[in-house]
A and B are shown apart, each in its own frame.
Chain A
Amino acid sequence: MSEKALSSGRAIRPTNYTAGKIGKVLLYAALILLSVVTLIPFVWMLSASLKLDREVFEFPIRWIPQTFHWENYSLIWTKAPMLMYAKNTAIVAICVTFIQTLTSSFAAYSFAKLEFKGRDTLFLCYIATIAVPWQAYMIPQFIEFRAIGLYDKLSAIMVLQAFSAFGVFLMRQFYRGIPTELCEAARIDGLSEYGIWAVIMLPLSKAAIATLVIFTFIGTWNDYMGPMIYLTTESVKTIQVGLRRFIQENSSDYHLIMAASVVSLIPVSAVFLCLQRYFIEGIATSGLKG
């Protein structure tokens, strides 16, 4: 796969210049149409969030509200502790991302660059569990967590997400691409294995780390099922279950639900927009997700 072509997001194909012009116009028309179709739910969400309750299902639909009801966005904070949900989610997402990235890259170094007995068996063990769906073992896990007192605690969600085999796999694939000679040279220079990891491997794997960070962050931020099972107290709810509760309690306030939804999308959209290159290229090169 040509990395260069991928990273600039373009592919140059020999084009026939006579038909080229019309083809180009059609191509961009198709792209714009596809993008509009993809984005329409978000546009509708935004539009509905600025309307009055009864205007949401007007017939025929009015895409731009008659008057912009910005007060919807101040109203939602009084109806649900959205800020607290967001804070809880941020704490969890940051902790998970930190633990995940650190332990994964640590373990991956060993799997990729060190030799010891049973290494491949142990790694196979890791890989095998990627194939086992979480849904298959979530109940014993739930009972285990409850037994050690993690039920209804934010830390449950942290532990739940922080030790995935996927992270180790992703980092190992990347580390294998780094020349072993680098490590050997450093070893001869008297650097310990920990030193090699910190001084050589970590700085070289920025791209892989960026991919893992954004994967983990977005995955944790958007996780619904874990918090749904584990969190019941209002003060520890994450934004997804919080939003869900908001929807259930204000089920006919369509405009407010849409405003809260828009708010819940903002942080993750910001992270995505900043780091989308790493995210998308990470998928293209690793090609999989847990």
Chain B
Amino acid sequence: MSTQQLNAEARRRKGSLERKKTLVALSFIAPNFIGFALFTLIPVVVAVFMSMTEWNGGSLASMKWVGLDNYAKLFAVPQRYIDRLENPNFFSILGVFFERVDIGIALKNTVTYTIITVPLTLICSIVLALVLNKAVKGAVAFRAILFFPYVSSTVAICVCWNFMMMKNGPINQLLMFFGSTFNKTWTADSTMAIWAVIVVSVWKSMGYYMVIYLAALQGIPRELYEAATVDGANKWQQFRSITLPQLSPTTFFVSVMLIIGCFKVYDTVALMTGGGPGRATKMLVTYTIDEFNAFKYGSACAIAMVLLVLVLTVTLIQFRMEKKFSAD
């Protein structure tokens, strides 16, 4: 055998070895990937397509391609509302869009809910983490207690909070003790309903983010505090100029997770207010499910795409910012 032949033989062997290695590697992934591709990947692609069709879930033949019609219908402000305006300009029409049009209301509610819930959860979880970080005895027990709402089932706790926030319920009793005059069922009141959902959301998730903050707190080098003490900085100054800045990557990460979580809110709303009273707590996902239940599959998918765009935008921003964080 010539050297050339030998080389060719070796290359062939190496090639088949490579192929075998790849096959083995793929065989590990296959069981998960097949399930994943069938039940996640394909539906994701189909969702985009379906948002451009009209279909009531009947036979596939009855599915009708409508292009961007669903989106146009979703975002259109009906002429009768515009006619009623004294001075129809861009801003007044935009106002009507957020006041009257379903998707506008859902967007407004979702964003309002997000804007209030995110900072409240951040503050609560930082405070919990700071207090727990100092404790020596029983820290594990306290940590488990504060975390517990996160693992408890939404249905049970939502109905419990619903009862507690009813007329004459313990929450209203407590507030009246402190001088409040409000004694109505929260979830039936158009201004308080969203607050009912917010309170439960913050209460439920603060323990989870507390755990993330605890881990971050323990990563702050102790020397920083020692140096600050030597320089005569008090506790508050230390908190402001060491703890908070050191926590900022965590705060950023937690904020992104919270924002995405808030955009996707469904369970708490569905179980507490059902999107009501009226449309006071109608959210993007609540709206999707409403359309889905009304067999308007195309339109439901279009709303879901609005949610997808929002979530992906936040994720993209996170990607960009994270690069900046790691570059610093």
Contact = CB atoms under 8 A, between A and B. Distances in A.
A109 interface: yes
B32 interface: yes
Interface in A238-285: 239-240, 243-244, 247, 254, 257-258, 261-262, 264-265, 268-269, 272-273, 276-277, 279-280, 283-285
B208 A283 contact: yes
Chain A interface extent, by class? 35 or more
A174 interface: no
Interface stretch (B5-13, B64-72, B134-142): B134-142
A1 B218 contact: yes
Q: 9 smallest A-B Cβ distances: which pairs?
A: A163-B35, A110-B28, A261-B156, A284-B215, A140-B46, A103-B32, A114-B25, A141-B43, A9-B139
A1 B136 CA distance: 18
A284 B151 CA distance: 16
A115 B21 contact: yes
Contacts of A163: 32, 35-36, 39-40
Interface in A134-166: 135-145, 159-160, 162-165
A243 B146 contact: no
Contacts of A129: 36, 40-41, 44
A17 interface: no
Interface string A214-237: 000010011011001100000000
B21 A116 contact: yes
Interface stretch (B93-101, B111-119, B297-305): B297-305
B311 to A, nearest CB: 5
A122 interface: yes
Interface string B2-43: 000000000000000000011011101101110110111111
A179 B73 CA distance: 57
Interface in B140-189: 140, 142-149, 151-157, 159-161, 163-164, 166, 168-170, 173
A5 interface: yes
A73 interface: no
A12 interface: yes
Interface residues of B, number: 95
A167 B229 CA distance: 44
Given A14-B222, A38-B203, 10 more contacts: A31-B142, A57-B166, A107-B31, A114-B24, A136-B311, A138-B304, A163-B36, A244-B155, A265-B156, A289-B208
Nearest to A2: B218
A208 B312 CA distance: 28
A107 B166 CA distance: 49
Contacts of A39: 145, 148
Most central of A30, A39, A229, A283 by chain B CB within 10 Å: A283
A41 interface: yes
B62 to A, nearest CB: 13
Interface of B: 21-22, 24-26, 28-29, 31-33, 35-36, 38-44, 46-47, 50, 57, 128, 131-136, 139-140, 142-149, 151-157, 159-161, 163-164, 166, 168-170, 173, 203, 207-208, 211-212, 214-219, 222, 225-226, 229, 253, 257, 260, 263-264, 266-267, 270-271, 285, 288-289, 292, 297, 300-301, 304-305, 307-308, 311-312, 315
A69 interface: no
B148 A38 contact: yes
A223 B235 CA distance: 43
Contacts of A138: 43, 304
Nearest to B268: A224
9 contacts: A27-B134, A104-B32, A110-B29, A136-B311, A137-B46, A138-B304, A160-B39, A222-B154, A247-B155
A166 to B, nearest CB: 11
B214 to A, nearest CB: 7
Contacts of B300: 139
A139 to B, nearest CB: 5
Nearest to A163: B35
Contacts of B292: 139, 142, 229
Interface in A1-49: 1-2, 5-6, 8-14, 27-28, 30-31, 34-35, 38-39, 41-42, 44-45, 48
A239 B153 CA distance: 10
Nearest to A159: B39
A228 B203 CA distance: 24
Given A131-B312, A224-B155, A27 B218 contact: no
A225 B144 contact: no
B215 A10 contact: no
Contact of A287 (B154, B215, B263, B288): B215
Most central of B43, B50, B157, B315 by chain A CB within 10 Å: B43
A107 B27 CA distance: 8
A240 to B, nearest CB: 5
B170 A280 contact: no
